[in-house]
A and B are shown apart, each in its own frame.
Chain A
Amino acid sequence: MTDTVVAATEQPHCVFDAKDFSSGAHPVWCPGCGDYGVLASLERALAKQGRPPHEVVLVSGIGCSSRLPGYMSTYGFHGVHGRALPVATGLKLTRPDLEVIAVGGDGDGYSIGGNHFIHACRRNVDMLYLVMDNRVYGMTKGQPSPTTEADWDSDIAPGGIGLRPFNPLAVAVASGANYVARGFSGDPNGLADLIVDAIRWPGFAFIEVLSPCVTFRPEQREWKKMVRPSAISIERDRAAATALVLADDGFSMGVLYRGDRASVAPALKPEITVADVEREFMVAV
């Protein structure tokens, strides 16, 4: 790192309130959108976690859900569609002192960014990835996403897309994520607790949040009746966790898996200088 980098403070942390994490900007979201609940949960979680807003960076891609960083008072990075995880990875690897959280939607994370999702789980960099899954491309007004049910009717895929939905939790467990959980935007307190737990857990933490799109998937309002706490939470045993998330109907909430994989080692302290590198080119006569 260079001298331009200011390491985040190690001052004793003050007590924060959820509203300290709000930017005050008015969200573009439709009234009733699940993403409001996620925003509220994140604000509460960060207040509880106790790090000041300037030590937190929210990174996102493109979609309704990816607008979230603009609504928080933290640092943020609203990039291009699907690439939140690589941005967050580059940032966290060079600035481990920051709290880095990537957020986005199911289209952003599982479709256009699907490859990054797999490899972020493999890399296991210490950060949180929170996906607001509404099983639709909300921002582009209602096309089926990778998590959409096979028979969901839409203009672009009349009668249904006819594809088996993607199981993000199974992929996360199989790919090496160290923390895998499911939350619900309609339970902001429960989700806030989950977020704090995930942030504190070392390595790559993934929370799939059911976050209804009331506009294009109004039937998702019923989700509040369908969600229930998971009866089981698996520690370390990835095979058992895979079985759990594959067998699940998608409505079990809470921590489903916590592992103990070591995260990426920090960068080395400099051992050489640029002048040492230069000497390697020299040919004496």
Chain B
Amino acid sequence: MTAGAVFLRAAAHAGYYGMMTQLFGAQVRGGESASLVQVSTTPIETQPDCYDLFVALDWDKVEQFAAEIPLDGNSIILADPAEGPVPAGIAKSKGCVIALAMNDPNDNKLARALRGKRVNMFAAGAVCALTGIGGDDVKAAIDNIFEGKGADLIAANAAGATLGAQAAPALALDLRLDPPQKAARWLINGNQAVAFGALRGGVRFVGCYPITPATDLVEWLAPHLIKLGGRLVLGEDELASVNMTLGASYGGTPAMTVTSGPGFSLMIETLGLAVAAEIPFVLVDVMRAGPSTGIASKTEQSDINLAVYGGHGDAPRIVLAPVSVADCVNTGEYAVYVAESLQTPVIVLSDQALGQATTVIDPSSDRPAPLKRRVNGIAPGKPFKRYATGGEPVTPMPLPGTPHLEWVAEGLTHNEAGLPASGAAMHVAQIEKRAKKIRQFEPGEHWGEVWGEGDVAIIAIGSTIGPAREAAARLAASGQKVRVIALRVLSPLPLAALARALAGVRRIVVIEQNHGAQLYHYLLGHKAIPPGAESVARPGPAPFRPSEIASYVV
């Protein structure tokens, strides 16, 4: 794992863009794992069709990863002969196997295991040298990654990397990258990016319960939030964490909860409460493969229906989906503003492939304009009508502690003053009030993104956008123009903007990573796409490869 992290960070120091994802075996802790790293002179937003280089530190149980580490005849496989022959699952790629002694040949298996870290650094040093990343950049990466672990450990790791770099020339391989456009960049993963965006947006309370692949988001967030004067509370379950989040928000603190599919399912009743009682909060769902517990550590885009429709009753809500790792920052921040200004829940639908992709991006600067909760501007009169109907649908929400404006947040159908009411007229009026808020929501340029032109359009969300864009770029290079349309606002569907984006299009392909074609049917249901639009829908966890999309669209 650390070998990949050192390579990626060293590449960033050298001025390259990059992306790293990770694969883990079934063991809860330790066990086998793989880092998949890409580096480039241009931003990377997709996993590749194939990796150029495979460095085997240990062949043990590697075959479980073979399907997710695509290699071909042009790939180079670096392996220590002392580790034994190349397993069939890897060898079948026909990649060129090159021997590299990474261990002291006199070590037995135990000694090698004990020195595993050094082998890691040896490999990182060798790969950096092969790709032309200098020793200073490697040292800077090691200093950063092992910061606080002591000078001895840093020196030992640096020495390992140096040995690797020294061994590289003898391999006589030319893997040198083009020189980069150097600039200070951010090294960030999608989960951190959403969390950071939420902090920028003002979130100072987070209720959560551990769940892969959302846990690392809150683990990153916790110390930062505390130092910012906020609170992160580990609930006893998701019912607790989402309701704590609502409680904090009711008190005036912008609040967020973070989860993945199973936890999101548990939160649905309270989502409806937040809609009905008009309490803002942000719910981040880092999607993983479902249904049920599914595959905890791997990606899928199969919670679209739950996010858009989940819950009983008429409960319209805002659903946003970041369009890239970099965009997770802005979408996270924007989600807070939308929730606060509309007094309604906002769901941020991320996915494991975005959330756990560590990426080198240009610093996020183009921030969304701040929007605030309406707490003042109350019409005089008794009783105070928190849920006044007939006028602007977003009505003032005084904070507890404000004299003479006491009100009760109410999940039962209520009258304008917030008292339970079961008459038809008030039920309809309050449903219409809340629906109007959502209907009037105008995301402007935030609705989505369009790249390219041409009369074929690919519609995608989240981590599927990257491979779709790469596919479109390749098709464009071979003369076929394809535009890619990414939806950032999933609910309410930005119908007008989408129609503009689709103007002149002859063929539409909706690509998504779930079996039931959830996005496709949602778009069809709203007549956002014509019945002749095509659907490419398949479950995760395998990421879409650019070649897979290109060969469908071509």
List A residues at the B interface (Cβ < 8 Å).
1-2, 4-9, 23, 25, 28, 52-55, 57-59, 67, 69-70, 73-80, 82-83, 85-95, 97-98, 115-116, 118-119, 267-274, 277-278, 281-285
Q: Which among B247, B270, B399 has the greatest number of chain A C-beta atoms within 10 A?
A: B247
Q: Do the beta carbons of A89 and B420 come within 8 Å of each other?
A: no
Note all chain A residues with C-beta closer than 8 A to B236: 115-116, 118-119
If A116-B240, A283-B360 touch, whether A2 touches B233 (CB-CB below 8 Å) is no
Q: Do the beta carbons of A70 and B240 come within 8 Å of each other?
A: no
Q: Do the beta carbons of A6 and B14 come within 8 Å of each other?
A: no
Q: Do the beta carbons of B233 and A119 come within 8 Å of each other?
A: no
Question: In chain B, residues 412-438, which have Cβ atoms closer than 8 Å to a Cβ of chain A?
Answer: 412, 418-420
Q: Do the beta carbons of A95 and B401 come within 8 Å of each other?
A: yes
A272 to B186, CA, bound (A): 19
Note all chain B residues with C-beta closer than 8 A to A95: 251-253, 400-401
Closest B residue to A97 using CB positions: B401
Q: Do the beta carbons of A272 and B409 come within 8 Å of each other?
A: no
The yes or no answer to B261 lying at the interface (CB within 8 A) is no
A85 to B372, CA, bound (A): 27
If A281-B188, A285-B15 touch, whether A86 touches B228 (CB-CB below 8 Å) is no
Closest B residue to A118 using CB positions: B236
Q: Do the beta carbons of B246 and A283 come within 8 Å of each other?
A: no
Q: Which of A2, A52, A54, A88 is within 8 Å of B252, CB to CB? A: A2
Closest B residue to A92 using CB positions: B247
Q: Which among B15, B243, B244, B254 has the greatest number of chain A C-beta atoms within 10 A?
A: B243
Note all chain A residues with C-beta closer than 8 A to B373: 4
Q: Which of B250, B375, B407 is within 8 Å of A87, CB to CB? A: B250
The yes or no answer to B530 lying at the interface (CB within 8 A) is no
Q: Do the beta carbons of A94 and B231 come within 8 Å of each other?
A: yes
If A86-B240, A93-B248, A269-B229 touch, whether A76 touches B13 (CB-CB below 8 Å) is no
Question: In chain B, residues 194-238, which have Cβ atoms closer than 8 Å to a Cβ of chain A?
Answer: 196, 199-200, 202, 204-205, 207, 224, 226-231, 233, 235-237
Q: Do the beta carbons of A79 and B243 come within 8 Å of each other?
A: yes
Interface residue total, chain B, C-beta cutoff 8 A: 77
Q: Do the beta carbons of B12 and A76 come within 8 Å of each other?
A: no
If A77-B247, A77-B409, A86-B239 touch, whether A270 touches B399 (CB-CB below 8 Å) is no
Q: Which among A5, A79, A93, A115 has the greatest number of chain B C-beta atoms within 10 A?
A: A79
Say which one of B35-43, B155-163, B177-185, B444-452 lies at the interface with A.
B177-185
A23 to B14, CA, bound (A): 67
Q: Do the beta carbons of A80 and B269 come within 8 Å of each other?
A: yes
The yes or no answer to B318 lying at the interface (CB within 8 A) is no
A115: shortest Cβ distance to chain B, in Å?
5
A-B contact pairs, 28 of them (CB 8 A): A2-B202, A4-B373, A4-B399, A5-B252, A6-B252, A23-B383, A25-B419, A54-B400, A54-B405, A70-B418, A78-B410, A79-B273, A86-B239, A86-B247, A90-B247, A91-B248, A93-B233, A94-B252, A95-B251, A116-B236, A119-B236, A267-B229, A272-B224, A277-B199, A281-B188, A281-B363, A283-B185, A284-B13
The yes or no answer to B385 lying at the interface (CB within 8 A) is no
Closest A residue to B255 using CB positions: A90
Q: Do the beta carbons of B243 and A67 come within 8 Å of each other?
A: no
The yes or no answer to B27 lying at the interface (CB within 8 A) is no
Note all chain B residues with C-beta closer than 8 A to A98: 251, 400-401
A280 to B399, CA, bound (A): 34
The yes or no answer to B403 lying at the interface (CB within 8 A) is yes
The yes or no answer to B100 lying at the interface (CB within 8 A) is no
Q: Do the beta carbons of A90 and B183 come within 8 Å of each other?
A: no
B540: shortest Cβ distance to chain A, in Å?
27
A119 to B237, CA, bound (A): 10
The yes or no answer to B347 lying at the interface (CB within 8 A) is no
B359-403, CB under 8 A of A: which get 1 and which 0? 010010000000011010000000100000000000000011111
Q: Which of B182, B250, B375 is within 8 Å of A4, CB to CB? A: B375
Q: Do the beta carbons of B247 and A89 come within 8 Å of each other?
A: yes
Closest B residue to A60 using CB positions: B408
Q: Do the beta carbons of B399 and A77 come within 8 Å of each other?
A: no
Question: In chain B, residues 252-298, which have Cβ atoms closer than 8 Å to a Cβ of chain A?
Answer: 252-255, 269-270, 272-273, 277
Q: Do the beta carbons of A86 and B244 come within 8 Å of each other?
A: yes
Q: Do the beta carbons of A90 and B14 come within 8 Å of each other?
A: no
Q: Do the beta carbons of A79 and B204 come within 8 Å of each other?
A: no
Q: Which of A77, A271, A284 is within 8 Å of B227, CB to CB? A: A271
Q: Which among A69, A80, A90, A278 has the greatest number of chain B C-beta atoms within 10 A?
A: A90
Closest B residue to A275 using CB positions: B200
Q: Do the beta carbons of B205 and A94 come within 8 Å of each other?
A: yes
Q: Do the beta carbons of A284 and B184 come within 8 Å of each other?
A: yes
Note all chain A residues with C-beta closer than 8 A to B375: 4, 6
In the complex, besides A4-B254, A87-B247, 7 extra interface pairs with C-beta distance below 8 angstroms are A28-B420, A70-B408, A87-B244, A89-B233, A93-B205, A277-B199, A283-B360
Q: Do the beta carbons of B183 and A285 come within 8 Å of each other?
A: yes
B382: shortest Cβ distance to chain A, in Å?
10
Closest B residue to A93 using CB positions: B231
A168: shortest Cβ distance to chain B, in Å?
17
Note all chain A residues with C-beta closer than 8 A to B248: 90-91, 93-94
Note all chain B residues with C-beta closer than 8 A to A57: 250-251, 400
Q: Do the beta carbons of A76 and B408 come within 8 Å of each other?
A: yes
A118 to B184, CA, bound (A): 50
A80 to B270, CA, bound (A): 7
Q: Do the beta carbons of B250 and A91 come within 8 Å of each other?
A: yes
Note all chain B residues with C-beta closer than 8 A to A78: 277, 408-412, 420
The yes or no answer to B404 lying at the interface (CB within 8 A) is yes
A54 to B226, CA, bound (A): 28
Q: Do the beta carbons of B200 and A79 come within 8 Å of each other?
A: no
Q: Do the beta carbons of B420 and A79 come within 8 Å of each other?
A: no
Closest A residue to B374 using CB positions: A4
The yes or no answer to B406 lying at the interface (CB within 8 A) is yes
B334: shortest Cβ distance to chain A, in Å?
15
Q: Which of A67, A76, A267 is within 8 Å of B231, CB to CB? A: A267
Q: Which among A57, A76, A77 has the greatest number of chain B C-beta atoms within 10 A?
A: A77
A80 to B272, CA, bound (A): 9
Q: Do the beta carbons of A79 and B251 come within 8 Å of each other?
A: no
Closest B residue to A75 using CB positions: B400
Question: In chain B, residues 501-545, which have Cβ atoms closer than 8 Å to a Cβ of chain A?
Answer: none
Question: In chain B, residues 25-62, which have Cβ atoms closer than 8 Å to a Cβ of chain A?
Answer: none
A111 to B370, CA, bound (A): 42
Q: Do the beta carbons of B186 and A283 come within 8 Å of each other?
A: yes
A246 to B223, CA, bound (A): 41
Q: Do the beta carbons of A2 and B184 come within 8 Å of each other?
A: no
A285 to B31, CA, bound (A): 34
Question: In chain B, residues 1-33, which have Cβ atoms closer than 8 Å to a Cβ of chain A?
Answer: 9, 12-15
A137 to B247, CA, bound (A): 25
A268 to B372, CA, bound (A): 24
Note all chain B residues with C-beta closer than 8 A to A278: 196, 363
If A116-B240, A282-B186 touch, whether A91 touches B405 (CB-CB below 8 Å) is no
Q: Do the beta carbons of B409 and A76 come within 8 Å of each other?
A: yes
If A1-B253, A54-B406 touch, whether A88 touches B229 (CB-CB below 8 Å) is no
The yes or no answer to B330 lying at the interface (CB within 8 A) is no
The yes or no answer to B463 lying at the interface (CB within 8 A) is no
